Amino acid sequence: GLEAGYWLPKLSQILGVQCTQALQHLQHEDYLKLESEVRHPWEKRALQKLLKIRDDKATPGEQEKQHLERAKQRQVRGQAEAKQVLNELKEMLNSHSQDTVRQKAEALWQAMEIPEEFWPAPKKPLADVLESIQKQLEQQESSVGRSENIPDREVLRRASGGLALQGIYRTSRAEDVLAKREQLIRVPEGFQLAGPEHRSLLERKEFSSNAAESSFTKCMEQLGFSISVSAKAQFWRVQWEAGADHSSSSQAEDTHQSHCEQSYFCSTKYQYIPLASCYFQRHQLLLSDAALRELQHVEQLLSLAQEEDKPNLLQSFFSRFGSHVNQGPLHFGGIFWWKASAEGFRAAQREEVKRQTSEALNIFVGGSFSGFGVTLTNQSVGTAFAEELASAVEEARDFMEVVRTWEGTADESKLLMLMDLKRDLSAKTKDPRVWINVCLSDKALQHFLVNTVSSCQESPPENSTSLKAILRSLLHPHIYSVKDFPKSSFIMQWIFQAGHRLPKTPQVSELAELLQTLQETMEHIHAVTYAPGTSPSAVQEAQREATQTTGLAIYSLLRSLQERAQKDVELLVLLIATSAGYQVGSSTFQHLLGHAEIQYLAQAMAAAHEQYVSLKEQDADRAEASLLL
The predicted-structure confidence for 395-414, as pLDDT tens digits, reads as follows 888 889 888 888 766 777 88
Residues 126 and 156 grouped into a single domain: no
- Note whether residue 257 is domain-resident: yes
* pLDDT at site 230: 44
Distance separating alpha carbons of residues 478 and 445, to the nearest angstrom? 14
Residues 328 and 449 grouped into a single domain: no
Residues 423 and 462 grouped into a single domain: yes
Distance separating alpha carbons of residues 355 and 361, to the nearest angstrom? 10
469 in Cβ contact with 15 (< 8 Å):
yes
Burial of 614 (0-12, 13-18, 19+ CB in 10 A): exposed
- Note whether residue 383 is domain-resident: no
- Note whether residue 505 is domain-resident: no
Residues 430 and 576 grouped into a single domain: no
Q: How many CB atoms are closer than 10 A to CB 198?
A: 14
Residues 191 and 326 grouped into a single domain: yes
Distance separating alpha carbons of residues 626 and 629, to the nearest angstrom? 5
DSSP 3-state assignment of 380? strand
- Note whether residue 391 is domain-resident: no
**Model confidence pLDDT, tens digit, residues 160-217:** 778 888 888 887 777 777 778 888 899 888 788 876 766 667 778 888 888 888 878 7
Distance separating alpha carbons of residues 612 and 242, to the nearest angstrom? 53
470 in Cβ contact with 415 (< 8 Å):
yes
Among candidate residues 125, 143, 161, the one where a domain is terminated: 143
- Note whether residue 394 is domain-resident: no
**What DSSP string describes 452-487?**
HHHHHHTS-GGGSHHHHHHHHHHHTTGGGG-S--TT
Residues 455 and 545 grouped into a single domain: no
Per the confidence metrics, is the pTM higher than 0.75? no
- Note whether residue 594 is domain-resident: yes
DSSP 145: T
Number of domains in the chain: 5
Residues 18 and 162 grouped into a single domain: no
| Residue range of the domain that includes 339 | 152-377
188 in Cβ contact with 330 (< 8 Å):
no
* pLDDT at site 257: 41
Beta bridge mates, 514:
none
* pLDDT at site 440: 92
Pairing status of strand 375-376 against strand 330-343: unpaired
Burial of 56 (0-12, 13-18, 19+ CB in 10 A): exposed
Residues 191 and 301 grouped into a single domain: yes
Query: Which stretches of the chain score pLDDT less than 70?
Result: 1, 28-29, 32, 36, 53-83, 85-86, 107-124, 126, 128-149, 195, 197-200, 222-262, 363-390, 408-409, 430, 461-463, 465, 497-506, 530-537, 621-629
* pLDDT at site 34: 77
Q: Please report, as a single letter, which amino acid is at residue 302.
A: L
- Note whether residue 397 is domain-resident: no
326 in Cβ contact with 223 (< 8 Å):
yes
Residues 79 and 123 grouped into a single domain: yes
Among candidate residues 495, 528, 563, the one where a domain is terminated: 495
**What are the backbone dihedrals phi and psi of residue 267, each rounded to the nearest 5 degrees, phi first?**
-115, 125
Residues 139 and 160 grouped into a single domain: no
* pLDDT at site 123: 66
Residues 517 and 591 grouped into a single domain: yes
- Note whether residue 175 is domain-resident: yes
Residues 351 and 255 grouped into a single domain: yes
For 97, 263, 484, 626, the CA distances from 408, given in Å and listed in that order, are 34, 60, 20, 58
For 398, 444, 484, the CA distances from 405, given in Å and listed in that order, are 12, 9, 22
Distance separating alpha carbons of residues 107 and 439, to the nearest angstrom? 11
**What DSSP string describes 299-351?**
HHHHHHS-GGGHHHHHHHHHHHH-SB---S-EEEEEEEEEEEEEES--GGGHH
For 127, 326, 339, 471, the CA distances from 448, given in Å and listed in that order, are 37, 43, 44, 12
Distance separating alpha carbons of residues 170 and 173, to the nearest angstrom? 8
